[in-house]
A and B are shown apart, each in its own frame.
Chain A
Amino acid sequence: MRERRGKEFYVLAIFFSVFVIFLYGPVSAILILSFQGPNGGLTFPMNGVSIHWFFALFGEQLVGDFKAAFLRSLQLGLVVMVVTIFVSVLTGLAFRKKFFGSTFLFYTTVSSLIVPSILVSLGIGLLYNLMEWEAAWYSSGMGAHLTWTLPFGFLIMIAVFNRFDSSYEEAAKDLGASNWQTIRYVVLPIIAPSLIGVALFGFTLSYDEFARTLMTSGVKNTLPLEIFGMTTNVTTPTLYALGTLTTIFSLVVILTAMGIVFYMQKRRERFGTDAGKGV
């Protein structure tokens, strides 16, 4: 079965390639169209090639204030990321032992993944409305984002700790490490690549989050809301230019994260053992 590649392989390989084209095709169209000439419209054919629309994007009179929206999304994403990492590591550690209510807490957390996002949005929006707090992207918006990123981080950490070999910790303790030292020098370095993964989830899910933000962001928009607003009233390729820019930004973030993980693994292979070197 392993030696020969039959018809099945080629059929599936073609299927897979079509799937990848299906995934990336439309987005690449946006990319190409954002370089539309100054007289071009929203669809093909291309009417010359220019970066006119990128300039138009930075001229504020045409579109909304996307720079401020971008900064808000960026800050929000970073804060959500930090909170997500912190909380998921702690809960991950806590969930290694069963404790009172752990099953309940587990299912509550997971259930927030399956509750439709519009419900979370509505719920938080209503809550703020009733309490007469003012909804804003950094308070209610952040809460809404955390209901989405935390369960992801949490599940990843549980998966990580399920596979974690606790004899490393025991070895550290036998050598006289304190609890904190064990976590700092043994546990954290081992799970570091997964932490990058959690960070990536936390940031990108928040950065692109739309449905949960809609009713919770208050007066000021985050970037996805801004883009959505543009779809209804902007009829030039500036929309595509913005799309291209944020997609490239996301890609840079993703590739950076992957680069770090890759680098860590390489380092591990090279310095696989630090026996005798001390810390």
Chain B
Amino acid sequence: MIVPIATILIVSFWDYSEFMLLPDFVWTNYYETLSSFVTYKTYLNTFKYTILTWFFTLLIGFPVAYFLCFHVRTLRWQIVLFLICTIPFWTSNIIRMISWIPFLGRNGVFNSMLISLGLTNEPLEFLLFSDFAIVLAFVHLYTLFMVVPIFNSMMRIDRSVLEAAIDAGANGWQVLTNIVIPLCKPGIAIGSIFVVTLVMGDYITVRMMGGGLRASVGVMMWNEISLLLYPPAAANAVVLLVVVLILVSLMMRVVDLKKEL
């Protein structure tokens, strides 16, 4: 684990010619990466995907976990419903991405539906190969990473605390905001860490759902790699790693990882 990262770090300082890597210690790779307008634009774009995905996975994940934890009464049903949510996680991401294509395509299910309902006359173009499709696919793929940790923290909440709050006259909303959400914070943080790092490092979803027209940091790196520009790609990777680590350490303030297991 450490060796590959160290390799990236070293290579990021190397110089390169058209055919080979030249061991060296130069800052040009960083200079070029950090001085380019494209880099900032790409990072901005990636942050946009990350924030949107994070927002929606939380918005969906929290109620789902809440329902599973507090409204499903028997353990058996809890297990069954939980498994229904987790099974897609164990199947192929690629296939789950491809499967949006017949839905969102120009002649896809959504467009035919909209047309037959008379809502639009022409197929909507923005559904597939767009920012919308990218975020949708991310949410579809990664909501589970939000549900599981939140569910885990919710299951630890002592029910008598909730009953005490209700006895003391709290209404449902107050219980939710004053007790459940604060006690779920570690779960939310862990879920957020997963979602943020997965989206930040992604390149395949953006490429497939964006139709090759949208950029993210991962895609940018991938393009450099396919042109065999390893040192700039490595420099880019180091920058990405630093950004991700900063984000994670911000989120880690809420949790003590060892206690969560």
Contact = CB atoms under 8 A, between A and B. Distances in A.
* Residue among B81, B87, B105 with max Cβ neighbours from chain A (10 Å): B87
A231 B208 contact: yes
Given A20-B85, A29-B99, A127-B4, A208 B261 contact: no
Interface string B12-28: 00000000010000000
Given A30-B95, A155-B261, A208-B93, A122 B87 contact: no
Interface residues of B, number: 72
A27 B99 contact: yes
Contact of A123 (B7, B91, B105, B257): B7
Given A15-B67, A126-B7, A126-B230, A200 B90 contact: yes
Contacts of A15: 63-64, 67
B240 A119 contact: yes
A108 B3 CA distance: 12
Contact of A243 (B60, B99, B109, B230): B99
Contact of B4 (A16, A120, A246): A120
Contact of A115 (B107, B204, B244): B244
A43 interface: yes
Interface residues of A, number: 72
Contact of B162 (A1, A120, A246): A1
Given A12-B71, A123-B8, A114 B193 contact: yes
A171 interface: no
Contacts of A22: 140
A133 interface: no
B178 to A, nearest CB: 16
B261 A243 contact: no
A63 B53 CA distance: 34
Contacts of A231: 94, 98, 208
Given A29-B109, A108-B1, A227-B92, A122 B102 contact: no
Interface of B: 1-5, 7-8, 11, 21, 60, 63-64, 66-68, 71, 73, 81, 83-85, 87-88, 90-96, 98-103, 105, 107-109, 112, 140, 143, 162-163, 166, 172, 193-194, 197-198, 200-204, 208, 218, 221-222, 225, 230, 233-234, 237, 240-241, 244, 248, 257-258, 261
